[in-house]
Amino acid sequence: MLEIGPFLSKAFQALQALVVGYGMPPLGAWILAKAIQAGIIVLLVSLVPMVLVYAERKVSAFMQARLGPMNVGPYGIFQTLADGIKLMFKEDIIPIGADRLAHTLAPMVAVAPVFVCFAPVPFGKGLVPIDLDIGVLFIFAISGISTIGILMAGWGSGNKFSMLGGLRGAAQLVSYEIPRVLSVVPVLMLYGTQSLRGIAAGQQGLWHGFLPRWFIFYPFVGQLAFLIFLIASVAETNRTPFDIPEAESELVAGFHTEFSGLKFALFFLAEYAYVFLSSAMAVALFFGGGDGFTAQGWFPSWIWFMGKTFAIVFLFLWFRWTFPRLRVDRLMQFCWKFLLPWAIVNIGVAGLMILLRK
Amino acid sequence: MERTIPTLIFGLLAMLLIGLSLVVVTSRSVFRGAVALTGALGVVAGLFALLGADFVAAGQLLIYVGGIMIIMLFVIMLSQRPQDHLDRQTNDQWVWGAFFSLAIACALIMQFRAVYRGIFVTTVATPTSASIGRLLLGDMVVPFEAVSLVLLASLVGAVYFGLDKEDRS
Amino acid sequence: MTVQELLTSIQAKFPGLQEIPKVQGQVRGDELYVAVPAAQLVELGRYLRFDPPLSFDYLSFVTSIDWKTHFEVVYYLVSTLHKHKLVLKVKVEDRVNPEVPTISPLWPTADWQEREIFDLMGIRFAGHYNLRRILLPDDWEGYPLRKDYVAKPDRYD
Amino acid sequence: MANETSLPTSTQEVFPTQVPETGMFISLGPQHPSTHGVLRVAITTDGELVTSAQPDLGYLHRATEKLAEKRTYPQIIVLTDRLDYLAAMTNNWSYCLAVEKLLGVAIPERADYLRIIVGELQRIASHCVFLGTYGIDIGAFTPFLVAFGRERERILDLFEEICGARLTYNYIRIGGVMADSPEGWEAKVRQFVKEMYGRIDEYDTLLTYNPIFMDRTKDIGKMSQEMAVAWGITGPNLRATGFKADVRKDDPYGLYAKMNFDIPVGKQGDCWERYCVRVQEMRESLKIIEQALNALQPGETMGKIPKTFRVPAGEGYGHLEAPRGDLGFYIVSDGSPSPYRMHIRPPSFVNLQVLQVLLKGWKISDVIAILGSIDIVLGEVDR
């Protein structure tokens, strides 16, 4: 058993006690402990995209009958690292017609919120950085800020393709935010809390001894909610089939056409971090978080959580490498005429279920 | 100590808010002004959070920053070109405008000085979503629905004016 | 329609038109070759295109030949319905200011092909809506496919 | 079909009017991922709708027709390789057809069958490139690496074995082919043909019947039959409109008259049908290859052609069904060792001009879908 949650919390308590013993006020000790936790999350969120980029390359390679990176390290595992280093040393190009301030700030605005978003994610038993009471709403609220970064990139580049990409991005992200939030509402209704830890904790145990009490297994409501959440999440992360803001064949690279070096890397980081965040959210909301159903004791909860998260990340990768891209107007139609009505219907059904249960 | 840290944070946020608001009214680029306004609204969310209103803070971020401001930026990008971002955003009346704003600010400060006695709300975020939900769908349900009717009317109006002349009839 | 039938039906409407006789010892395809004066080209084209028994709806290509003394514009017509073919040749005597009426309203496919001839051979197509250079840069001097064209060394030579 | 009443009264009716003053101007290319080479399309849009489109060419102009006047007849085959560089075999063949018409030589039977085999393999390879790049245009990346990186590679391997080159073959020569097939080559082709049927079914599941792909391409960029014929469209683009026209059937060359195959046609000429016709054509090509392989007998591969020969004076036009349409060479000879004038009828160039009227009224995303479905090769457009 490798439950690191209790161990970590004990360690932080010991640390706080230690520094208080040396004369630091308790609030200062608390801030120090939280700062270290935040540092761990920043590190994790920076490293996970590297793993995901590697996974994306390998998954796409195997889907496309090729090998993918093979030269840097065994099976090319250090390829992403090498690319990261390369990007860091690349020239930072700012076009003449660009709005320098917007161009420089855009990648930072796009990437900064994602670190904050991981605060209420329950990585396992006792592994919740901050158990916010409004966890789900918090993540939705903060992740919306990244859209501003995309708009700033589109505007600040002084390039028509970037501008079109930014425009499309704004329209798409605002639209898909709505069914995405609404799809989660049945979960909140049934568990009566917005805390991700609380929701995950509510999904422990089994129905009839074999079916996990995960939300996805609620008849109709669970599956529909997950489907809408997944589709809207793919759209929110700008990935195929919803990658119209950066549609390569139409808009060159959309809003990040004019970005190079580290700034480009930041956009990349943001995209993959959001993929990871969406998958983690889906696991906490629909798949019982760190719950291991019948095989409960086989692995510690954080491994369960990570395993499920990567399984959903694989779905994202799978979509990207098999689907063509939707056209921009069909994309909007799909959102407003299909996802949104069904999300509302789902809320109604969830309400009925609660009524019937009473 | 327990009191100084929130006060410090409040001071920082307030300064940031004033600075960003000034950028909104003085920036020559509409786009930059809108971005600064976005930042200002985000800072307001921070103030809400400082007051322990977690739900309102998140709502502020979700609706104003993630929704309304993005639509505003969208409109700016649709109607303007990146090249012409050097229009003056102020007119000849700005002196009077500044004077009256300052006057109102002074009046507000005087008013609140009487009430403010250094009392500060505790920074520990107490869950508020349940009570807000009860209020909105309980005691306040009629005004709440009335507001949504107003929004619906304005939406219909917007669609009507957005249509081409031939389609209106 | 056979070559002979084609010729008779054309000559019924345009009595002045003659088949280009095959020169002894020269090779030529089995298509009907007809010489057309530039003045009659559009009228003939209209007849060929829309007369039901002829209906030459497909213009395979338009090209031009510089015979040093004169130019020749060649039209290769095919009827997708009757599968018969016809080659029209227009002789342009004026080497200084060669001009042929455009047939692009009849066969839109001639649009770029005529532009290409204008670009490379320098034959003007009167009435063409957009007679600009198409392959070469707009400021190119001379018409490279003419036999008397002398390449000017540019900065790459 | 067309009658006199449909005759336009002025050029303004046929051709797009002047470029509108208002709206956003987008210069699509010459550096753009989806123009398939160095093509520039000057587009004006009203919002996302295209109001005018003017293709701008010439970035790849190499004066092939002028060069040909200074080369001897066999040397020109090398130039033809560089026209449609995705289908160099059919370029060689078309040129040789024209010269052989002038010379009046007979081709040995084996050489003719080998020509059919490599020609049809070339068609499959070319359509594989189309399929892959069209997938990318629509946003699906995987078909590209499957069709381009797996199947086309195998065809190129086969070509490399038979002529030593992978892109510019110079294999089909005046009077026959350069070399007989090496030992075991035919068995390899058979093996490839057998596997390829399954691979094409794989494309169908991966791309053709994908709902998003169909949504992006169905009813987009429709072309009527009259319009297609009037604009001189040939090849799969014409057949997608429902017009059964194929040089292999209408004006058989080589031994195609002996071959038994269908001409796939569409109904309404939209992007999806242009795509489907090509996929179906790949299947028909496989059929033809099988028949040619069965009929292949040992024998000569080169006709009785002297090393240096003079072509009699006169003129000849040879054309064939290249992967992109009706590819023809019109050669005027004055009896000297090099042609007096050589004109190429490039299908891509002629097909491309319809873009001026076809793009109007569609969205920017559709521009990419339509441009991709026309399937042009800039080496042939600019020559």
Angle of the D153-163 helix axis to the D185-203 helix axis, nearest 10: 160
Of A147, D316, D279, residue with least CA distance to B67: A147
Of A259, A313, A253, residue with least CA distance to A281: A313
Read off the pLDDT of each residue in B102-120 and give the average, rounded to a whole number. Answer: 78
Residues of chain D with pLDDT > 70, as a percent, come to 94
A197 & A312 share domain: yes
The two three-digit tokens of residue D41, written as one number: 């399309």
Q: Mind spelling out the 3-state secondary structure of chain A?
A: CCCHHHHHHHHHHHHHHHHHHCCCCHHHHHHHHHHHHHHHHHHHHHHHHHHHHHHHHHHHHHHCCCCCCCCCCHHHCCHHHHHHHHHHHCCCCCCCCCCHHHHHHHHHHHHHHHHHHCCCCCCCCCCCCCCCCCHHHHHHHHHCHHHHHHHHHHHHCCCHHHHHHHHHHHHHHHHHHHHHHHHHHHHHHHHCCCCHHHHHHCCCCEECCCEECCHHHCCCHHHHHHHHHHHHHHHHCCCCCCCHHHCHHHHCCHHHCCCCHHHHHHHHHHHHHHHHHHHHHHHHHHCCCCCCHHHCCCCCHHHHHHHHHHHHHHHHHHHHHHCCCCCHHHHHHHHHHHHHHHHHHHHHHHHHHHHHHC
Among A248-252, C40-44, D195-199, D263-267, which is the least confidently predicted range?
A248-252
What residues of C are in contact with residue D353 (Cβ under 8 Å)?
A: 108-109, 111-112
Task: Using CB atoms, pick whichever of A164, A321, A327 lies closest to residue D142.
Answer: A321
Is residue C42's pLDDT more than 60?
yes
Half-sphere exposure of B10 (CA within 13 A, CB side): 14
Residue D288 belongs to domain with CATH number: 1.10.645.10
Residues of chain C with pLDDT > 70, as a percent, come to 99
Centre a 10 Å sphere on the Cβ of residue B22 and count the other Cβ atoms it contains.
12
Q: What is the pLDDT along chain D (383 residues), one digit of tens a residue?
A: 344 444 444 444 445 545 555 667 777 777 777 777 788 888 887 767 888 888 888 888 888 888 888 888 888 888 888 888 888 889 999 998 888 888 888 888 888 888 899 999 999 999 998 888 888 888 888 888 888 878 888 899 999 988 888 888 888 888 888 888 888 888 889 899 988 888 888 888 888 888 888 888 888 888 888 888 888 888 898 888 888 888 888 888 888 888 888 888 888 888 888 888 999 999 899 989 988 888 888 888 887 777 777 788 888 888 888 888 888 899 988 888 888 888 998 898 888 888 888 888 888 778 888 888 888 888 888 88
pLDDT at D9: 43
CB D278 within 8 A of CB D236: yes
> Is A9 within a domain?
yes
The two three-digit tokens of residue C137, written as one number: 């840069």
> Is D320 within a domain?
yes
Task: Using CB atoms, pick whichever of A140, A156, A170 lies closest to residue B62.
Answer: A140
D24 touches chain A (CB under 8 A): yes
CA distance D365 to chain A (A): 6
> Is D313 within a domain?
yes
Domain that holds residue C11: 3-21+30-126
Q: What is the amino acid identity at position B117?
A: R
**Dist. CA A151–CA A137, nearest whole Å:** 22
Read off the pLDDT of each residue in A2-12 and give the average, rounded to a whole number. Answer: 75
pLDDT at A257: 80
> Is C61 within a domain?
yes
> Is C131 within a domain?
no
Angle of the B129-137 helix axis to the B141-162 helix axis, nearest 10: 80
* A219 upstream amide cis, omega within 30 of 0: no
**Chain D from 302 to 341: CB within 8 A of any C CB:** 312-317, 319, 326, 328, 330, 332-333, 340-341
**CA D301 to centroid of chain Cα atoms:** 26
pLDDT at A8: 77
**Dist. CA D379–CA D383, nearest whole Å:** 6
> Is D298 within a domain?
yes
Mutation pick from B72, B77, B124, B132 vs chain A, by most beta carbons of A within 10 Å, is B77
B108: exposed, middle or buried (C-beta count within 10 Å: 0-12, 13-18, 19+)?
exposed
According to DSSP, residue C22 is labeled P
The pairs formed by B21-29 with CB atoms below 8 angstroms and a separation of 24 or more are B25/B89, B25/B90, B26/B89, B26/B90, B27/B89, B28/B85, B28/B86, B28/B87, B28/B88, B28/B89, B29/A99, B29/B85, B29/B86
> Is C141 within a domain?
no
pLDDT at B87: 59
A162 & A296 share domain: yes
Of A107, A55, A42, residue with least CA distance to A259: A107
> Is D79 within a domain?
yes
CB A225 within 8 A of CB A184: yes
Domain that holds residue D353: 64-362
The two three-digit tokens of residue C40, written as one number: 């009659």
Of D275, D241, D235, residue with least CA distance to D135: D275
pLDDT at D8: 46
B87: exposed, middle or buried (C-beta count within 10 Å: 0-12, 13-18, 19+)?
exposed
What residues of B are in contact with residue A174 (Cβ under 8 Å)?
A: 66-67, 70-71, 74
pLDDT at D5: 44
pLDDT at D11: 45
* A241 upstream amide cis, omega within 30 of 0: yes
Whether residue A247 and residue D366 make contact (CB cut-off 8 A), yes or no, is no
The two three-digit tokens of residue B7, written as one number: 């006060």
What residues of C are in contact with residue D317 (Cβ under 8 Å)?
A: 29, 31, 76
Q: Which residues contact C84 (CB under 8 A, 6 or more apart)?
A: C1, C6, C78
Question: By three-state DSSP, how is residue D143 classified?
Answer: helix
**Dist. CA A22–CA A15, nearest whole Å:** 11
Q: Model confidence over D307-352: pLDDT tens digits?
A: 777 788 888 888 888 888 888 899 988 888 888 888 998 898 888 8
Q: Model confidence over A153-210: pLDDT tens digits?
A: 888 887 778 888 888 888 888 888 889 888 888 888 888 888 888 888 878 777 777 7
Say how many domains are in chain A: 2
Mutation pick from D7, D315, D348 vs chain C, by most beta carbons of C within 10 Å, is D315
CA distance B77 to chain A (A): 7
The two three-digit tokens of residue B124, written as one number: 């520990």
Chain A contacts to B (CB-CB under 8 A): 25, 27, 97-99, 101-102, 132-134, 137-138, 140-145, 147-148, 151-152, 154-158, 163, 166-167, 170-171, 173-174, 177, 181, 194
Say how many domains are in chain C: 1
Of A265, A205, A275, residue with least CA distance to A240: A275
> Concatenated DSSP letters for chain B?
-TTHHHHHHHHHHHHHHHHHHHHHHH-SSHHHHHHHHHHHHHHHHHHHHHTT-HHHHHHHIIIIIIIIHHHHHHHHHHH--TT--------TTHHHHHHHHHHHHHHHHHHHHHH-SS----SS----HHHHHHHHHTTTHHHHHHHHHHHHHHHHHHHHHHS-HHHH-
Mean pLDDT (chain B, rounded)? 79
> Is C143 within a domain?
no
**Dist. CA B123–CA B1, nearest whole Å:** 12
Q: Model confidence over D176-187: pLDDT tens digits?
A: 888 888 888 888
What residues of A are in contact with residue D141 (Cβ under 8 Å)?
A: 60, 64, 240, 320-321
pLDDT at D3: 44
CB D83 within 8 A of CB D76: no
**Dist. CA A90–CA C90, nearest whole Å:** 61
pLDDT at D4: 45
Q: Model confidence over A78-125: pLDDT tens digits?
A: 888 888 888 888 888 888 877 788 888 888 888 888 888 888 888 877
Domain that holds residue A13: 1-40
Q: What is the amino acid identity at position A72?
A: V
> Is D20 within a domain?
no
pLDDT at D6: 47
A214 & A296 share domain: yes
Question: By three-state DSSP, how is residue D350 classified?
Answer: helix
A28 & A102 share domain: no
The chains in contact with chain D, meaning 3 or more Cβ pairs closer than 8 Å, are A, C
Mutation pick from A57, A327, A334, A338 vs chain D, by most beta carbons of D within 10 Å, is A327
Q: Model confidence over C50-92: pLDDT tens digits?
A: 877 788 888 888 999 888 888 889 998 888 888 888 888 888 8
> Is A63 within a domain?
no
Q: What is the amino acid identity at position D170?
A: N
A164 touches chain D (CB under 8 A): yes
pLDDT at B70: 84
Whether residue D207 and residue A160 make contact (CB cut-off 8 A), yes or no, is no
> Is A164 within a domain?
yes
pLDDT at B103: 93
**Dist. CA B21–CA C128, nearest whole Å:** 60
B127 touches chain A (CB under 8 A): yes
In this prediction the ipTM stands at: 0.75
Whether residue D58 and residue C135 make contact (CB cut-off 8 A), yes or no, is yes
Question: By three-state DSSP, how is residue D317 classified?
Answer: strand
| Confidence class for position B104, pLDDT limits 50, 70, 90 | very high
| A/B interface, count of CB pairs below 8 Å | 103
Residue C90 belongs to domain with CATH number: 3.30.460.80
| Confidence class for position A1, pLDDT limits 50, 70, 90 | low
Q: Model confidence over B39-92: pLDDT tens digits?
A: 898 898 888 887 777 788 888 888 888 888 888 888 877 776 655 555 566 677
Whether residue D11 and residue C128 make contact (CB cut-off 8 A), yes or no, is yes
> Is A50 within a domain?
no
∠ CA D224-D226-D229, nearest 5°, is 105
> Is C120 within a domain?
yes
Say how many domains are in chain D: 1
